[in-house]
Amino acid sequence: MKSVVVKSPGGWDNLQIIDQPSKDPKANEVKVRWHATSLNYHDYLVGAGAIPVLDGRIPMSDGAGEIIAVGSDVGDWSVGDRVMSLFFPGWHDGAPGFRKIVGVSGETMDGYITEESCLPAASVTRIPTGYSYAEAATLPCAALTAWNGLMHATQTKMGDKVLIEGTGGMSIFGLQFALAAGAEVYATTSSPAKAERLTEMGVESVVNYKEDPKWGKTIFRLSDGGVDHTLDVGGGSTMSQSIEAAKIGGHITAIGILSGGRKGSITFPKLFFKFITMTGIAVGSRVMQEEMVSAIESSGIKPIIDKSFAFDQLAEAFRYQESGQHFGKIVLEW
């Protein structure tokens, strides 16, 4: 079988396709033939070498495929079942803890840009009915992060006002989940063309953050007193504006550092005089993923796939991601 691996020190020229022996599943494992993966910022950092991994690590935290063999102790899965991966294969339920999240797909353990792999039976979930493998491969990281941020870190309900930032995969899923919950959605982007697409999808107001560096105050005004919930994807580069956009008593879920925002500064009086609650999250658990699948089936939500690449085009896919042209998810199919 073939796998893509990251050779030290990372970088697009150090992504190599290798041949590996096929293995049989252990008693508690399933063997999956993978057919698709999708790109996340985490995968980009691994591929680029910004997150160091063991030499020869198989990257990519998302995977969708079919079970082709089951171990002797596995009773929940059968050959032919269509499944998708978990970002944290060891976090099945409950609150996060070190032992649950130490294993990260495509980073501390092998990911899913490989033709086959064996993994614990509890480390996959079913994919939504009617979804293709490519569509399912967009869910385990980006969609689950948005689901956790809107439905677990806070409880978004009908009539709430939600702010999403940008048009990457997680943000678009956040938009879709918020609209399905009956929320009023506001958004930021730097592209007039993307702003038009966001409006067509049902966003109430879109602000161009490059043209309006104080977009947080603009969102506060447009939403008539601030938003209830914000999915902050930029970290230090966006958090101060997310605070400006929040209503008194609002909630901000910090989920990313997409704009080079590992560090930043905020005005603390604004934070506590607005009685803002902030929560940091990283993706979610198996139980959350199962809940999300059920919600997707009930709502009819379909992912927005911007562009598809082939198995041997991971470097090209990362370069396209780097360009920032995409709206929604980038996938690879084989």
Would you place residue 256 in the very low, low, confident or very high pLDDT band (cuts 50, 70, 90)? confident
pTM check: above 0.85:
yes
C-alpha distances out from residue 153 to 201, 266, 283, 288, Å = 24, 21, 11, 12
Q: What is the mean pLDDT of residues 310-329?
A: 96
Which are the contacts of 207, defined by CB distance < 8 A and separation ≥ 6? 186, 187, 188, 215, 218, 219, 222
Same fold, 2-141+284-333 and 153-280: no
Q: Is 111 exposed, middle or buried (0-12, 13-18, 19+ CB in 10 A)?
A: buried
pLDDT computed for residue 259 by the predictor: 61
Strand ranges in 166-256 using DSSP code E only, listed in sequence order: 184-189, 205-208, 227-232, 246-254
Residue 1: CB atoms within 10 Å = 14
The DSSP H or E segment spanning 323 is: helix 314-323
Domain 153-280, CATH class in plain words? alpha beta
Structure token digits, residue 288: 């959350």
pLDDT computed for residue 261 by the predictor: 60
Three-class DSSP labels, 262-285? CCCCCCHHHHHHCCCEEEECCCCC
Q: Is 107 exposed, middle or buried (0-12, 13-18, 19+ CB in 10 A)?
A: buried
Of the chain, the percentage scoring pLDDT greater than 70 comes to 99
Superfamily grouping for domain 2-141+284-333: Medium-chain alcohol dehydrogenases, catalytic domain (3.90.180.10)
Domain boundaries, the chain: 2-141+284-333, 153-280
Strand-strand pairing, 116-120 and 124-126: unpaired
The DSSP H or E segment spanning 176 is: helix 169-180
Would you place residue 236 in the very low, low, confident or very high pLDDT band (cuts 50, 70, 90)? confident
Structure token digits, residue 245: 């956009």
Angle between helices 144-151 and 169-180 (to 10 degrees): 40
Task: Measure the CA–CA gap between 222 and 227, rounded to whole angstroms.
Answer: 9
Would you place residue 220 in the very low, low, confident or very high pLDDT band (cuts 50, 70, 90)? very high
Strand-strand pairing, 246-254 and 29-38: unpaired
Residue 308: CB atoms within 10 Å = 15
Residue 225 has pLDDT above 80, yes or no: yes
